[in-house]
Structure 1
Amino acid sequence: MEKLALKLCMGKDIGVHGNLFGGIMLSWLDETAATWACSLCRNPNMVTVKIDETNFEKPVKIGNQVNIYGEVKSVGNSSMTIYVEARSYNFYTGQEQIVCSTIFIFVRIDEHGNAIPIDSDVREQYAHLSKD
């Protein structure tokens, strides 16, 4: 997997139980994965069409660094499926622990919001992966 982003949990990100609010985590993951999908497809017109089951495995507290990793799972005609994983990072030990993971599906769209093909060279680059 490739490291895509670093985030820091701050007071403004905390929910009523003293942990990182789940909606903030989903926002971080979506922004990171969408930006990466656009970069990989060399096109800014990739939109989130599906977020799979999301597993919140451990709480994130104020001051925790969260490292976000991603892996392309498949590329179809107009879609890209990306697995993302957020890991808390311990500054003192250098160890990471998975705190959240999910799968996003992005679709390339035209100016009217209709699905259009991802460039063939991008699809060929990921042809070795199973199709979605």
Structure 2
Amino acid sequence: MSHRRLHLAAFRTFLVLAAVLVCPVQVVIAQEVSPDAPPYEQQLMRLSEIFGALHFLRPLCKENDVPSWRDQMEDFLDAETLDENRRRRFIERFNQGYRGFSVAYRDCTDAARLAMGQYLSEGETIITDVTSRYGR
């Protein structure tokens, strides 16, 4: 691998790590949670962001998920949101997750596969936690 390509790959990895580390903090500060929001609201917001990231990463790495992560997000929105403002906040987080990776990746890399695996695991943890603690 040439010095220039190695430098470019390192820079892309830095951008993704910066987006993953910085963006969630900014979003929590920027987005207010209403007082009547469920206690698991922040977990669902994070799940929306994970869905967006996976919607970008899985096809990039030639993973053919049926239903797609966008379709899963639509099902989630239909099940979880009656309030239009809340629905918009979830959509914003989905889009943020998508954009966070789309600006840094054009090809499936080892770093993209690692992020994808971590997001799948984190999403599963959130779903398990929320349904076991708050499920009906």
Q: Is this a same-fold pair by TM over 0.5?
A: no
- Whose helix fraction is larger, Structure 1's or Structure 2's? 2
- Whose strand fraction is larger, Structure 1's or Structure 2's? 1
Q: TM-score, normalised to structure 1's length? A: 0.30
Which protein, 1 or 2, shows the higher relative CO under an 8 Å CA cutoff with sep ≥ 6? 2
Q: TM-score, normalised to structure 2's length? A: 0.29
